A and B are shown apart, each in its own frame.
Chain A
């Protein structure tokens, strides 16, 4: 019974619990239904919004398409196989097709002109498939076959799943621009060719003009020698200076055209900066009037030869100095070279060319390096092409340097340029080379070191006539001894001497600290004008070079360059020869040469003739003996002496042949060649001997030898 009650209660409880559960579930079901309803509404709302957005998107796409169409940009849509899906109106207009004609066609087949372009298109196509955009130019053909150039900006068309379904290209007609570009290129080429032709023309013309010009200059010299009247001399001097100006103008134009044509290349070699500067100084020194002082200042830090284009550097400095000279009437012209930076391998040098000339105004400074610009455009006093500084600038820049100018009107100008040079070998010999300076002694005194009696006689006669004090040394040993004792303002040093030659003598003087002439200027005297001999002279510390035979003018120029002596007022060896009948020299004697050499001092000339025939001539025959005994050096010594001696008596042809003979001996050439040449000279001399004798006899009648020797 009790259990039955228990079961009844349990059943009642469970029924009640089930009803309660059902009620709860019913409520939940309603809640669920309501939730579902609102979810559906939400979903509908969302779908509507999406549709609206999509429509907006399509509208804006369409809007931009229309915009592009209105901008004359042709739109073309293709699938991945280049089949045209849609051609927009402006594209149709651009190409002359109807929309319907293009749809479904292969774009490449319809439009491409060049087969090569299909490669480009394949590349473009593969980029689009990867989803990349790109811009390219292409030539396509219109319906009527007419080609047009289009610039195409292409982009891939991607569907909602991110798959590339094709591409869209914006086409812009650039035919007009392309044609213009082609025309420009064409005219650029034409202009380039014209420029080249112009350069070629300039170069050729300059060359062609120079040939007749040289003839004019040469003829002017010859006319000078044909006893012109004073008036004619004036005309000739104008002719001479005008042709010189013309020649330098043409040189400028030629240089300029070469630089423009890129024909000038840097030629590197090892050279001595000091030597270059002193040779530049020499050439400019002659041209300066006494009112302008020239100074050279080379940084003593430079202890090496340098690698570079010697000629180019010399041209730059000569141009700048020429400029300075042109515009400087008085004051100074200085050249300074300083080391800005020195490394183990290089010198960075700064060159300054300064003058105290008329200067350049500030507004004109900007133009002076421009082609064909001349500052003094309105002033005819200053000639020139206006190319000099432009050339200079280009030469500096060609070597990797830069040039600038600083100037004040009426105060002067300073041109500064930098160049970087690789170091060459150490040139300690350069060190002992003295800084050039004019005499510091009150009494100018000159030392002549010369072993050849005839040469000695010649120079001493001239020095005597100019009232200059001098000493004589007959060889190197004697020269060293005398230089230790007394100071000289200038030393003339023959190079080829017995015992100690000119090089060694100079080296000994330069290396001896106690020698009072350690830094005195030394001028080499040599019959050989070879640059190698000149270079060697400078290397050994000589300052200058005088080539034998020299005329009195050249000797005078050298003397006035190194001393305070102004020889201008001295009458040039005229006295004794004046008032007499001018002699007529018969060939093989060279009259022109003798006139220049003796300047009318015929008494002196005759003495030289006598010395030659009495003392020198017989030595000639010894040459043959030495040659036959293979004693070449002995033979050469005599040959060498005779080169000058023959020239002193006007036997120029024989002198030239003798020079050739010396070269044959020096070059260790075939002995038979030497003998042949010797025989020719011998014949020549044989022919000349009676004429020499006759000349002496003719003139001895007029002159007393004693007078000259006094």
Chain B
């Protein structure tokens, strides 16, 4: 997993809970990398799973809601770091549809070793978009958070329904309906 995910996760934890919690997580997890993450490096994804699980225990917050918050945080970072991706689309649905066919294609050019989820989109009508998340990492809640922030960014209030097509969470359907 790309280093930026680790550095931004720890950044979020520090913002919400202070560096002591970051230190606690790094000291109490069994991390082969030793926890000294750099954005340009690549690390085992199991390390982030350990870090999130421990944070969940320590803050008594369910993992999905932690991932959703992390999604909110990451959207802000992406927006600052890669503004061109957001300027290209003029509406929320256009943007969401461009993730698979444009943004991920560009990301793979920069980081050939990046492991990315797949999104299948289908425009039901002008107000409804179906988006299916597929990934071994089972982090659909992170996607949920990102989608929420994206809708907010394009100022199009909406309701998002989540449905697990696969019980393990490897395949999840989001039905995004713009508020009338």
Residues of chain A having any CB pair with chain B under 8 Å? 6, 9-10, 12-14, 16-18, 20-21, 24-25, 28
Most B C-beta atoms less than 10 A away, residue of A6, A14, A17, A24: A17
Q: Residue B169 at the A interface, CB < 8 A?
A: no
Which of A6, A14, A24, A25 is B36 in contact with, Cβ under 8 Å? Answer: A14
Residues of chain B having any CB pair with chain A under 8 Å? 19-20, 23, 26-27, 34-41
B23 touches A17 (CB 8 A): no
Q: What residues of B have a CB within 8 angstroms of the CB of A12 in the complex?
A: 36
Complex CA distance for A25 and B23, rounded to whole angstroms: 26
Other 10 A-B pairs with CB < 8 A, given A9-B27, A13-B35, A20-B38: A6-B19, A6-B20, A13-B26, A13-B36, A20-B36, A20-B41, A21-B38, A21-B39, A21-B41, A28-B40
Q: What residues of B have a CB within 8 angstroms of the CB of A18 in the complex?
A: 38
Please list 12 pairs of residues, one from A and one from B, whose beta carbons are closer than 8 Å in the complex, sorted by A's number: A6-B20, A9-B23, A10-B19, A13-B35, A16-B34, A18-B38, A21-B38, A21-B39, A24-B38, A24-B40, A24-B41, A28-B40
Complex CA distance for A10 and B19, rounded to whole angstroms: 9
B36 touches A17 (CB 8 A): yes
Q: What residues of B have a CB within 8 angstroms of the CB of A6 in the complex?
A: 19-20, 23
Q: What residues of B have a CB within 8 angstroms of the CB of A28 in the complex?
A: 40
Q: What residues of B have a CB within 8 angstroms of the CB of A20 in the complex?
A: 36, 38, 41
Most A C-beta atoms less than 10 A away, residue of B26, B27, B40, B41: B40
Which of A10, A17, A25 is B37 in contact with, Cβ under 8 Å? Answer: A17
Complex CA distance for A25 and B40, rounded to whole angstroms: 8
B40 touches A21 (CB 8 A): yes
Residue of A nearest to B22 (CB): A10
Smallest beta-carbon distance A238→chain B, Å: 115
Q: What residues of B have a CB within 8 angstroms of the CB of A9 in the complex?
A: 23, 26-27
Residue of A nearest to B23 (CB): A6
Residue of B nearest to A18 (CB): B38
Complex CA distance for A17 and B39, rounded to whole angstroms: 9
A16 touches B23 (CB 8 A): no
Q: What residues of B have a CB within 8 angstroms of the CB of A17 in the complex?
A: 36-38
Q: What residues of A have a CB within 8 angstroms of the CB of B23 in the complex?
A: 6, 9-10
Q: What residues of A have a CB within 8 angstroms of the CB of B38 in the complex?
A: 17-18, 20-21, 24
Q: What residues of A have a CB within 8 angstroms of the CB of B27 in the complex?
A: 9
Most A C-beta atoms less than 10 A away, residue of B23, B36, B37: B36
Smallest beta-carbon distance A47→chain B, Å: 27
Complex CA distance for A71 and B111, rounded to whole angstroms: 64
Q: What residues of A have a CB within 8 angstroms of the CB of B39 in the complex?
A: 21
Q: What residues of A have a CB within 8 angstroms of the CB of B41 in the complex?
A: 20-21, 24
Residue of A nearest to B24 (CB): A6
Residue of B nearest to A3 (CB): B20
Smallest beta-carbon distance B25→chain A, Å: 12
Residue of A nearest to B14 (CB): A10
Smallest beta-carbon distance A27→chain B, Å: 10
Complex CA distance for A28 and B38, rounded to whole angstroms: 15
Smallest beta-carbon distance B26→chain A, Å: 7
Most A C-beta atoms less than 10 A away, residue of B37, B38, B41: B38
Q: What residues of B have a CB within 8 angstroms of the CB of A21 in the complex?
A: 38-41
Smallest beta-carbon distance A11→chain B, Å: 11
Give the 8 A-B CB pairs with smallest separation, nearest first: A16-B36, A21-B38, A17-B36, A13-B36, A17-B38, A24-B40, A20-B38, A6-B23
Complex CA distance for A24 and B19, rounded to whole angstroms: 26
Complex CA distance for A329 and B34, rounded to whole angstroms: 137
Smallest beta-carbon distance B23→chain A, Å: 5
Complex CA distance for A28 and B34, rounded to whole angstroms: 23
Smallest beta-carbon distance B166→chain A, Å: 36
Q: What residues of A have a CB within 8 angstroms of the CB of B37 in the complex?
A: 17
Smallest beta-carbon distance A1→chain B, Å: 13
Smallest beta-carbon distance B70→chain A, Å: 20
Residue of B nearest to A12 (CB): B36
Smallest beta-carbon distance A224→chain B, Å: 119
Q: What residues of B have a CB within 8 angstroms of the CB of A16 in the complex?
A: 34, 36
Complex CA distance for A6 and B18, rounded to whole angstroms: 11
Smallest beta-carbon distance B8→chain A, Å: 14
Smallest beta-carbon distance A17→chain B, Å: 4
Complex CA distance for A28 and B42, rounded to whole angstroms: 14
Most B C-beta atoms less than 10 A away, residue of A14, A21, A25, A28: A21
Residue of B nearest to A6 (CB): B23
Residue of A nearest to B39 (CB): A21
Q: What residues of B have a CB within 8 angstroms of the CB of A24 in the complex?
A: 38, 40-41
Residue of B nearest to A14 (CB): B36
Q: What residues of A have a CB within 8 angstroms of the CB of B34 in the complex?
A: 13, 16
Q: What residues of A have a CB within 8 angstroms of the CB of B36 in the complex?
A: 12-14, 16-17, 20
Residue of A nearest to B7 (CB): A17
Residue of B nearest to A10 (CB): B19
Residue of A nearest to B27 (CB): A9
Q: What residues of A have a CB within 8 angstroms of the CB of B26 in the complex?
A: 9, 13
Smallest beta-carbon distance B132→chain A, Å: 35
Residue of A nearest to B33 (CB): A20
Complex CA distance for A18 and B39, rounded to whole angstroms: 10
Complex CA distance for A18 and B41, rounded to whole angstroms: 11
Complex CA distance for A649 and B161, rounded to whole angstroms: 140
Smallest beta-carbon distance A447→chain B, Å: 110
